[in-house]
Amino acid sequence: MTSPAPSGPTMQSPTIIPIETPTLGDRSYLVHDGQVGFVVDPQRDIDRVLDLAAGEDVRISHVFETHIHNDYVTGGLALAERTGAAYFVNAADEVAYDRTPISDNQDVPVGTSMVVRALATPGHTFSHLSYALTAGGEPVAVFTGGSLLYGATGRPDLLGREHTQQLVHAQYASAQRLAAELPDATEVFPTHGFGSFCSATQSDATDSTIGAEKRRNPALTADEETYVAELLAGLDAYPAYYVHMAPANTAGPSAPDLSLPAMARPDELRRRIEAGEWVVDLRHRTVFAAGHVPGTLNFGIDGGFATYLGWLIEWGTPVTLLGETEADVATAQRELVRIGIDRPAAAATGGPQDWSDRPLASFRQATFADLDQVRHHRDVVVLDVRRQPEFAAARIEGAVNIPLHELPKRVHEVPDAAEVWVHCARGYRASVAASFLSAAHRRLVAIDDTFANAELTGLHLITSDDHTTADDDNSGDDGSSAEEPGDGSTSDSALQTAGDKS
């Protein structure tokens, strides 16, 4: 083990700068002493890190990975190669590239005053490490990756059900270790927990300390049995693209190519759609509904673009991007390389009138108040595309549920003749769903409204507190996850029955 570097008389407190990736719900970190610095868990688009370091006038000398990531492609290897930094990855991880192996309780001096100590914190993965930072011998912070988050912990089920029980108990022990070994004033800097599906639960907190987590984190306030039971009961579906991230990260991702793809004309776009490729309209859902190229899919860059596209797409399907400007296309490209979709097949800019050699398609948008009025006059199918736990907690009476991540393979279950009103919690997922239904030539109305407004109308809601047969049918109490059969999603027969009414 390397001895800590001595502190100098002019030592200053380290500067810790979060690098936000809000669309994936993650943070990376640049930490420096004014001259040299290290980076924790960098995302694939390393130009952001390089620009930040240049602006701070510091040299990046070390890059640390807390774990082999499951929700994004790392930029760690590319950043280390670009800067000449030492690249630290757990010695237990089998990777296909050169790295500096690091193990539990190993100290790494950075600059003249900072020391980073690796702490084994398995739970999110078997080989997960946290990194405790001291400066001048004084504890400053701990970078916890997917271990101890703000009011939560990283989920333990991403490596498969067969490992979940072992990992959830390990996660509890890891949180306990951090709380026992680090002072209460130690600042906590996780990678996940800002909307990432890598978090077991979500929190609105933006900062914390070990002391604060001792007061509010279930892994530190509950006994182990209660923590395990409640965490496992709350686990929900997670994006399908996650399965591709660990293989990419162990292979050693290169720096991405963010140059614009070739521009496509309307006839090429039509050929791509007819071939089954994804031609993705990046515009806001309101303008997409008003007019779009038939067969295009709407994943607006104003929402969870990469998460939901990566979740729904069959991996390897060519993607073409349609944006109002080149900047919109570039933003989407940046989002996609973070999840391993490296090069769009083509792109086009402008508007739908520039992209189509056929008449445009459109559909109506409405509110929950509109739905309440319509149901007084005629039967319609109410399609709820939220995830199963959301549906089970509160749903419109008579609504049918196909979670958005299941819809591409279940569109055929939506009756051809029915008038379908599709909704989610806030409108984004409903628009994605509506674009699939529009491409399948269904009659539809997309509800662009918050689900909280449904309760303010005359719509009757069934909640998890209602002990009804319908509630029992959708309870998911068989232990299956929301992404597998038996989860309480609406069956084909139930949808057909609803369609027969309309």
Q: Are 31 and 133 in contact (CB under 8 A)?
A: yes
Q: What is the Cα–Cα distance from 109 to 88, expressed in whole angstroms?
A: 13
Q: Outline where 195-265 has alpha helix (H).
A: 210-216, 218-221, 224-234, 245-251
pLDDT greater at residue 33 or residue 7: 33
Mean pLDDT of 93-106: 98
Structure tokens at 375: 């149901």
How many CB atoms lie under 10 A from the CB of residue 127? 18
Residue 417: per-residue pLDDT: 87
Decide if pLDDT at 88 tops 60: yes
How many CB atoms lie under 10 A from the CB of residue 483? 18
Assigned CATH topology for domain 266-355: Oxidized Rhodanese; domain 1 (3.40.250)
Domain boundaries, the chain: 16-251, 266-355, 364-501
Residue 195: per-residue pLDDT: 84
Mean pLDDT, rounded, of the chain: 91
Residue 458: per-residue pLDDT: 85
CA angle 314, 406, 301 (to 5 degrees): 65
Q: What is the percent of the chain where pLDDT is above 70?
A: 90
461-463 and 400-401 beta bridge pairing: unpaired
Q: What is the Cα–Cα distance from 463 to 478, expressed in whole angstroms?
A: 19
Mean pLDDT of 245-255: 96
Residue 484: per-residue pLDDT: 31
By C-alpha distance, which of 458, 73, 419 is closest to 250? 73
Mean pLDDT of 299-314: 96
DSSP three-state, residue 8:
coil
Structure tokens at 26: 């993650």
Question: What separation in angstroms does the CA of 382 have from each of 160, 218, 388, 490?
Answer: 34, 37, 15, 12
From the number of C-beta atoms within 10 Å of its C-beta (0-12, 13-18, 19+), residue 162 rates as: exposed
Residue 406: pLDDT band (50, 70, 90) is very high
Residue 444: pLDDT band (50, 70, 90) is very high
DSSP three-state, residue 390:
helix
Residue 191: per-residue pLDDT: 97
Mean pLDDT of 209-229: 98
Residue 112: per-residue pLDDT: 94
Decide if pLDDT at 243 tops 70: yes
Q: What is the percent of the chain where pLDDT is above 90?
A: 86
Residue 142: pLDDT band (50, 70, 90) is very high
Residue 468: per-residue pLDDT: 39
Residue 78: per-residue pLDDT: 98
Residue written as token pair 């989002």: 335
Hey, which CATH number is domain 364-501, 1.20.1510.10, 1.10.1740.10, 3.20.20.80, 3.40.250.10? 3.40.250.10
Q: What is the pLDDT of residues 454-501, one digit of tens each?
A: 999 989 999 987 643 333 333 332 322 333 323 334 444 445 444 443
Secondary structure E strands in 428-500: 443-447, 461-463
Residue 467: per-residue pLDDT: 43
Residue 203: pLDDT band (50, 70, 90) is confident
Structure tokens at 290: 């008003």
What is the DSSP code (8-state) at residue 262?
P
Mean pLDDT of 441-466: 92
Residue 466: per-residue pLDDT: 66
Assigned CATH topology for domain 16-251: Metallo-beta-lactamase; Chain A (3.60.15)
Lowest mean pLDDT among 203-217, 415-429, 463-477: 463-477
Q: What is the pLDDT of residues 328-376, one digit of tens each?
A: 999 999 999 999 999 999 999 999 999 999 999 999 999 999 999 999 9
Residue 12: per-residue pLDDT: 74
Q: What is the Cα–Cα distance from 343 to 334, expressed in whole angstroms?
A: 10
Decide if pLDDT at 13 tops 80: yes
Q: What is the Cα–Cα distance from 213 to 216, expressed in whole angstroms?
A: 5
Taking phi over 0 as left and psi of -120 to 50 as alpha, with beta for the rest, 181 belongs to alpha
Q: Outline where 238-377 has alpha helix (H).
A: 245-251, 266-274, 285-290, 305-312, 326-337, 352-355, 368-375
Residue 495: per-residue pLDDT: 57
Residue-level length of the chain: 502
Q: Which residues pair with 36 in a beta bridge?
A: 59
Decide if pLDDT at 134 tops 80: yes
Domains 16-251 and 364-501 in one fold: no
Residue 143: per-residue pLDDT: 98
- Which residues lie below 8 Å from residue 319, measured CB to CB, with a gap of 6+? 277, 278, 280, 309, 313, 336, 341, 344, 345
